[in-house]
Chains A and B, each alone.
Chain A
Amino acid sequence: MRRLYRILAAVLIPAASLGMALAAVAGLVLLVGEAPGTALLILVRGALGDPEGIGYTLFYATDYVFAGLAVALPFQAGLFNIGGEGQAALGGLGATLVVLAVGDLPAPLVFAAAAVVAAGFGAAWAFVPALLQARRGSHLVITTIMFNFIAAALMTWLLVEVLIAPGQSALETRTFRPALWLPTLADLVGGDAGGAPLNPVALLALLAAAFYWVLLRRTPLGYEIRAAGLNPLAARAAGIRVPRIILLSVCGGGAFAGLIAINELFGAQHRLTADLTAGAGFAGIAVALLGRGHPLGIVLAAVLFGALNQGGAALSFDMPNVTRDVVIVAEGVVVFVCGALDGVARGHIGQSLRTLWTAPARQAV
């Protein structure tokens, strides 16, 4: 009974916040003078109606799994990493440098090196804010946001002055050689996804989620991270070096964010541009909160936001009055309901469940 109660709570609370997010988007669609019902239909059909839509949905979901883990890991230590955007951009820089330096090596070697370096660059970009939080108590939220702006300036400068492909005006590097384009999953299994760039990095994202679970639940370090998040003072009293936990968890988040670049660069774009991530870093906040920090929840939430993003693209195509920015509103509402109103949702839904099943509440929450 307790188990049933727990599962219901884990399903109903996100469902309620999702309902509110959809209601907010419907309100926005009404405000711009379109019909919300039709919009929802276009959105769902665009995201899940054909193999191409599903392929794109899962491609975006791959980004969002990494972005969600980038927020969720530091969150377990009680820290809020808003720097996913910048960390992913630096990851893209690292991967591109690998390609430019040793791109002639066999493709699998290049992919492996690029993934490691991208994660390393993402972690390195998170290191300074993490260090400042650990040593000086500088507000991680503000410093990571500042590092997003600084990363944007740095990337623009590098693209303008250093990395731009010779003889062209668009701000991008030269295109990677086709051997470095990852095959799509559809190609690998002989199917047809209409050109959607879903590629094997999606499996890497699942591995990353599994790694996150093992790290947190089955290793001493994970225990220390969670202890520091629940009560830093008690953790310190128990001999856990909290500054070290801050550094490791935030840099680990940065490494996850850096991997977003691998999916985008080798799966879809094949060159470095100034806007590599297209807001995936911020979507990660919503994904992590909606997924309640659980890897399975994060994967499901990522698929959901992938569908929302792909459906939003279809929507803006069919309804010129609706732009893809509505997806950001949906993210914001989910963050608000899941993150900030969490207590209310738990209180209400928990109460109703309790009266229905009269299960003991303490174990369930």
Chain B
Amino acid sequence: MDGAGAASGLSLLLSLAGSTVRLAAPLVLAALAGLYAERSGVVDIGLEGKMLAAAFAGAAVASLTGSAALGLGAAVAAALLLALLHGIAAIVAGGDQIVSGMALNLIAAGATPSLAAAWFGQRGTTPPLPSGARFGPIVLPFAQTLSEVPVVGRVYTTILGGHSLPVYLAWLAVPLTAFVLARTRFGLRLRAVGESPEAVDAAGLSVARLRFLALAVNGALCGVAGVCLSMAQGNGFLRDMSAGRGYLALAALIFGKWRPWPVLCACLLFAAADAVQARLQGATLPGIGAVPVQLIQALPYLLTVAILAGFVGAARPPRALGKPYPPIR
């Protein structure tokens, strides 16, 4: 390969890596949200709906007030509200947690375009956000100077730098979650309540309180994930813009065996598939010819099925996952 070819190959690789880092952020946030819920013993199939509601609430408030911070607050509040509903059904009423999550997904899928159409008059979207109302790329210090340096500079500016605040929050959330789970009292209790709520109860702690706390963290993370979609990567809310990412995040959580770092790796895998599919559209592969756009778009979903089919057999979910406490008669 000649020098120019190598340089363009490297540049393609770097930009793919950059997109992967960016596209992984909402998945990571949602998957970690699911991790808190499920390690506490509450199944959360409603990640999708919470992301969607947060994406809408964030974009709506940001476009009305012109403030990105207020948008973020609204997004987190919307996701927290749904998490609270899920908590009432799952923790207080001892109801079927999968059904409850699905119900919240339906409610979010119906309510967001209804409200968008009524408040903003367009077909289920919010108007494009002005620049102050969204989270733009953050230029890291010395980016200008370092961009001159051959490889290191490119890595610094395209992979590490130039992302928005929610993306950095996502990457921060992984080590933080790992630390909280492994090294703090709250983390220990969280894991305990997901494995053996009766032991936690016997130790004099409130199972319900711990699970609600977990769902509060879950709601906050889903809120930031929604902001990622509509206020950082996108420029306003679009109907059904979560496009199954909540379910992908759930698959990543299972694939990552409910542990933060492996979950991150699973999310990166999905995001890489997504980044590659964006590149492959319209491309012709040697020997195969033009790849149908639809096949490429279906890649992340096919990958999810393959992962659930092939690798999950050995994973062990938290023992009390999905079981109400106290057990219903």
Question: Chain A residues in contact with chain B, CB under 8 A?
Answer: 24, 28, 31-33, 80, 82, 128-129, 132, 136-139, 141-143, 145-147, 149-150, 153-154, 156-157, 160-161, 282, 285-286, 289, 321-323, 325-333, 335-336, 339-344
Contacts and interface: CB of A to CB of B under 8 A. Distances in A.
Interface string B76-97: 0000000001001110011111
Nearest to A329: B110
Given A282-B106, A328-B109, A336-B100, A156 B294 contact: yes
A332 B109 CA distance: 9
B113 interface: yes
Q: List the 4 shortest-distance A-B pairs measured between CB atoms, nearest first.
A: A328-B110, A332-B106, A32-B118, A340-B100
Contact of B117 (A323, A332, A336): A323
A150 B118 contact: no
B95 A339 contact: yes
A132 to B, nearest CB: 5
Contacts of B251: 142
Interface stretch (B194-202, B278-286, B300-308): B300-308
B103 interface: yes
A129 B297 CA distance: 20
A340 B103 contact: yes
Contact of A335 (B90, B99, B111, B313): B99
A146 B113 CA distance: 22
A132 B293 CA distance: 27
Given A136-B309, A344-B93, A332 B103 contact: yes
Contacts, number: 161
Contacts of B111: 28, 325, 329
A325 B116 CA distance: 11
B261 interface: no
Given A132-B309, A285-B102, A336-B104, A325 B292 contact: no
Interface string B130-144: 000000000000000
Contacts of B103: 332-333, 335-336, 339-340
B312 interface: yes
A141 B45 contact: yes
B106 A328 contact: yes
Contacts of B105: 332
A74 to B, nearest CB: 13
B114 A32 contact: yes
B295 interface: yes
30 contacts: A31-B115, A138-B312, A139-B308, A141-B45, A141-B102, A142-B247, A142-B254, A143-B305, A147-B305, A149-B301, A153-B294, A153-B295, A154-B294, A157-B292, A323-B118, A325-B111, A326-B110, A328-B109, A332-B103, A335-B99, A335-B103, A335-B106, A339-B100, A340-B89, A340-B95, A340-B100, A341-B88, A343-B94, A343-B328, A344-B95
The winner among B109, B250, B295 for most chain A CB atoms within 10 A is B109
B115 A32 contact: yes
A319 B97 CA distance: 36
Given A143-B305, A285-B102, A341-B93, A136 B312 contact: yes
B298 interface: yes
A343 B119 contact: no
A33 B117 CA distance: 12
Contacts of B295: 153, 157
A137 B108 CA distance: 29
Interface string B247-283: 1001100100000000000000000000000000000
Nearest to B90: A340
A151 B109 CA distance: 19
Interface in B169-220: none
A286 B105 CA distance: 12
A321 B118 contact: yes
Contacts of B293: 157
Contacts of B88: 341
Nearest to A282: B106
A223 B165 CA distance: 56
A212 B304 CA distance: 32
